[in-house]
Amino acid sequence: MIRQSSFTKLGHMINTAVNKRSGNGDIQWCFSQVKGTLEDDVTEADIISCVEFNHDGDLLATGDKGGRVVIFQRDPVSKNSIPRRGEYNVYSTFQSHEPEFDYLKSLEIEEKINKIRWLKRKNQAHFLLSTNDKTIKLWKVSERDKKVEGYNTKEENGQMRDPSCVTALRVPIIKPMELTIEASPRRIFANAHTYHINSISVNSDQETYLSADDLRINLWHLEITDQSFNIVDIKPTNMEELTEVITAAEFHPLECNLFVYSSSKGTIRLCDMRAAALCDRHSKLFEEPEDPTNRSFFSEIISSISDVKISNSGRYMISRDYLSVKVWDLHMETKPIESYPVHEYLRSKLCSLYENDCIFDKFECCWSGNDSAIMTGSYNNFFRMFDRTHKRDVTLEAAREIAKPRTVLKPRKVGTGGKRKKDEINVDCLDFNKKILHTAWHPSENIIAVAATNNLFLFQDKF
């Protein structure tokens, strides 16, 4: 009985440490790590283009504009310490894609990694999908700590031996070796997209996945590389009649027959693959009527949805447009149940943002593990967090100045008036070259990864 109560007490201590909040109910975030050089001179190839935790959060993958994938592994000591810490070390780095040239269309194909998606782990190895504009690859990442020696028909350097020279048979032996991490491409899915791939999503059945470009969505089987099924095609017969493009697509996390895709017109369509082979007719259409008072020249551009994510529970969905994040109930199409302004102070700056092309930036968004909070990026290396339970929001900054362990992140405020208040930054002083487009949230803990240009910042709740 004493032993049981002591374990209960220990469990309570761990739980309290993991979910430590300030008195007003907000999580206090503190700096954990930063990956990448903190110098001002940034190489284009080093700019991070996607971030993704695997299903248990022990691995974190990033892709960059140079076609590289870097995988970080949770430090076992930090994971098992009390309180738990979110520290990651480099596990594997490999070149996923190379620059190519389409001679038929005289087009260069960038090596930039657009998306990474993990498959659920089935054995000792890890599998992930990575894609550039045209080609998707399935990678196997595995550990090797043993080697075989004493082959009969092969020399130790790998050269084949003449069988006539073998005078006696040997039994090969397995010897321990230094641990190496090997990344090998198991499948290459190519030549299925005319336009640039913007999304990939693994189905809950873990056997199929979808890939989406501007006008089409294809369904693939993970074992078959030379065949895919076109499940959505919005390409008009006459391209002059084109009014919208697909911006993002994702499978439902629980129902393998359902998927959603968003468009540049600000709509989200939910499709059921049981209804028809070609899902041109959606099952549900999620669209918010436009507010006439906010109508302007830029309305169509800023209403374009850059990302859509279904909640882990499968009940809700978030969509990110240029100025806001909206939460939708999959049972209600007429309007979002929650709407959060991300950087409303930029509404008056849309003209200059159009001139410098920032208005076309594609910000992603993500859910917390229990769907109670949402995170998305902004400019000046700011990122926004919205607490759905307490209806609170906060602006935080991924800055090199706070790159000291356990430094608590101070909320940032942006002022629009002439007189600047204390601890405020004026909207005219924001750096639009520093933008956070890609973020990820650990599936079960309050650990977040934020990509700021070539740096990956890791934050966790205060311990």
DSSP code at position 402: G
3-state secondary structure of 136: strand
The Cα–Cα gap between 138 and 119 comes to: 10
| Other Cβ atoms within 10 Å of 18 Cβ, number | 16
Q: pLDDT-based confidence at 1, cuts 50/70/90? A: very low
| Model confidence pTM above 0.85 | yes
- pLDDT tens for 111-150 read 999 999 999 999 999 999 999 999 999 999 998 878 888 7
- Amino acid residing at 27: I
Q: How many residues does the chain have?
A: 463
Buried b / exposed e across 280-316, counting CB within 10 Å, b at 16+? eebebebbbeeeeeeeeebeebbbbbbbbbbbbeeeb
Q: What's the CATH fold of domain 29-461?
A: Methylamine Dehydrogenase; Chain H (2.130.10)
pLDDT for res 39: 78
pLDDT of residue 159: 81
Whether 17 has a pLDDT exceeding 60, the answer reads no
Confidence of residue 91 (pLDDT cuts 50, 70, 90): very high
Rounded mean pLDDT of 49-66? Answer: 97
Dig out the tokens for 179 from the structure. Answer: 């641990």
Which amino acid appears at position 394 of this protein? V
Write down the domain spans for the chain.
29-461
pLDDT band of residue 463 (cuts 50, 70, 90) is low
User: What are φ and ψ of residue 88, in 5° steps?
Assistant: -125, 145
Share of the chain above pLDDT 70, in %: 94
Question: pLDDT tens-digit profile of 351-402?
Answer: 999 999 999 999 999 999 999 999 999 999 999 999 999 999 999 999 988 8
Please give the structure tokens belonging to residue 181.
């991490």
12's enclosing H/E stretch is: helix 2-18
In the chain, pLDDT over 90 holds for what percent of residues? 71
